[in-house]
Amino acid sequence: MPQKFTTRFVESLKPTINEQTYADSDSALSIRTLQSGAYYFFRHKRFGKKQIGRVGTISLAEAREVANEFKSLTRKGISPNQKANERNPTLLELYGSYIESKHFLSLSEDYRKLFQSRCRKYLLKKLGRHRIKEITETVAKDFWKWVKQHADGQNRENTAVLCNSHLSAILEWANDTLPNLSIPTNPTRFRKNFKQKERTRILSKSELRLVLLEFQTQPTPYKQFFLCVLLTGIRNGELAKMRWSEIETDGNATHLNLNTSDKINIWNCPAETSKHKNPIRYVLSDEVVELIFSLPRVNSYVFTTGRAVETHITSQGKQAAKIRSKLAFNEPWTLHDLRRTLVTYLSESGMPAAEIDRFIGKQVSEGAASHASYDFAPKLLEKKRIADTWVSLISKSILDSPENKEHKK
């Protein structure tokens, strides 16, 4: 019997061994649950069923809108199952197909989440009802201007760049997958130098001191996470996925086949976690290890919000935004700017650029094969030296710098 779908009801649905079907009393929308998950679909007595998308990848409101679009087609005697390239679909419908495509699902989880978040917030809100062939260069330009006016945060131009690139990705995929759509020119290519602005923000010593002190006031696990980001230079998206099983704290001379008694702490970052899909062995200072082991072991992830489910933190960006708002520096900063700041101060201290790059897991010109060489003991000792140097710089040159002493007065 049909029932009114609510977001709460939809989110409560679980995969089922045997297929179960639910019908929405307010629209022609239905949901079926399978072992692989729950899916929205459109139902019609004459034209049958048409899948819309997976629950969780598109919202209930978006699914209803697509169902209503399909319903309007049936009133004209057009089957929703007719190939999309023969009926000029809306951007919302195409978006639903794109995020279910093999290409999109092959991209990193973090990227997919950000892509979908921006599309829902800006792209679908403004252009979701537009038919693909109606999205001209003029429409794309107007969308660009609208995002620049309405985007959250201070870096609105970059948000506009990213939203425009998301629109471009969907249209390029449609052109490759649905050639009869025949979009002769990608309407998003109205700017030749279409690049996201490269950030150059480096925090001053006084700013870095205030950031560090504010990090120390944060609740667990964000306090430990933010301090580890600052002390390691590791990408925050990678660090959030650190697991207890990947940490070595017994990397002594015997373990590394070295004639030294130096103890080396290692995080074995797996390929699926690292940005460039290469395994990286990050060396952690004793101070970082102490921060990590001050956390309770709730599940397999080091940085988690305290629930027993297998999840890692995902709200570090929002938490950092609160800190940024509280400190109110003249120039905005991001967590990734801390990585650039670390590189700058280490370089000024005389550390070789190639060694710093290896320490923070940056791809270097030696090529992808060189990542294997990072596992060699001499490279790990090199990373340990940089880790200890950075901790020393933080405590002596930054916390106790003349600039900060003047700031305290």
Q: What is the pLDDT averaged over residues 267-279? A: 89
b/e map 173-205, b = 16+ CB within 10 Å: bbbeebeebeeeeebbeeeeeeeeeeeeebbbb
- Per-residue pLDDT at 51: 74
Q: Is the pLDDT of residue 400 over 70?
A: no
- Per-residue pLDDT at 369: 41
pLDDT above 70 coverage of the chain, percent: 80
Mean pLDDT value across the chain: 81
Q: What is the pLDDT averaged over residues 241-255? A: 76
Q: What is the pLDDT averaged over residues 373-401? A: 77
Model confidence at 368, in pLDDT bands (50, 70, 90)? very low
Which range has the top average pLDDT, 2-16, 184-198, 265-279? 265-279
- Per-residue pLDDT at 128: 86
- Give the 3-state secondary structure of the chain: CCECCCHHHHHHCCCCCCCEEEEECCCCEEEEEECCEEEEEEEECCCEEEEEEEECCECHHHHHHHHHHHHHHHHCCCCCCCCHHHCCCEHHHHHHHHCCCHHHHCCCHHHHHHHHHHHHHHHHHHHCCCEHHHCCHHHHHHHHHHHHHHCCCCCHHHHHHHHHHHHHHHHHHHHHHCHHHCCCCCCCCCCCCCCCCCCCCCCCHHHHHHHHHHHCCCCCCHHHHHHHHHHHCCCHHHHCCCEHHHEEEEECHHHHCCCCCCCEEEEEECCCCCCCCCCEEEEECHHHHHHHCCCCCCCCECCCCCCCCCCCCCCHHHHHHHHHHHHCCCCCCCHHHHHHHHHHHHHHCCCCHHHHHHHCCCCCCCCHHHHHHHHCHHHHHHHHHHHHHHHHHHHHHHCCCHHHHHHHC
The answer to which of 24-33, 216-225, 326-335, 384-393 has the lowest mean pLDDT is 24-33
Model confidence at 42, in pLDDT bands (50, 70, 90)? confident
Q: CA-to-CA distance for 4 and 23, rounded, in angstroms? A: 8
In DSSP terms, which residues pair with 156 in a beta bridge? Answer: none
- Per-residue pLDDT at 32: 85
Q: What is the pLDDT averaged over residues 32-47? A: 80
Model confidence at 364, in pLDDT bands (50, 70, 90)? low
> Higher pLDDT residue, 192 or 353?
353
> Higher pLDDT residue, 372 or 220?
220
Model confidence at 294, in pLDDT bands (50, 70, 90)? very high
- Nearest to residue 228, comparing CAs of 385, 378, 390, 345? 390
pLDDT above 90 coverage of the chain, percent: 29
Q: What is the pLDDT averaged over residues 339-344? A: 94
Model confidence at 29, in pLDDT bands (50, 70, 90)? confident
For the chain, list the domains and their CATH numbers. 1-82 (3.30.160.390), 84-198 (1.10.150.130), 205-408 (1.10.443.10)
Question: How many Cα neighbours within 13 Å face the side chain of 244?
Answer: 13
68-95 pLDDT, tens digit per residue, is 777 777 777 766 655 444 557 888 888 8
Q: Is the pLDDT of residue 372 over 60?
A: no
Q: Is the pLDDT of residue 146 over 90?
A: yes
Q: Is the pLDDT of residue 236 over 70?
A: yes
- Per-residue pLDDT at 252: 46
Q: Is the pLDDT of residue 107 over 80?
A: no
> Higher pLDDT residue, 29 or 303?
303
159-170 pLDDT, tens digit per residue, is 888 898 899 888
Model confidence at 20, in pLDDT bands (50, 70, 90)? confident
Q: What is the pLDDT averaged over residues 6-34? A: 84
- Per-residue pLDDT at 56: 76
CA 56 centroid distance within chain: 17
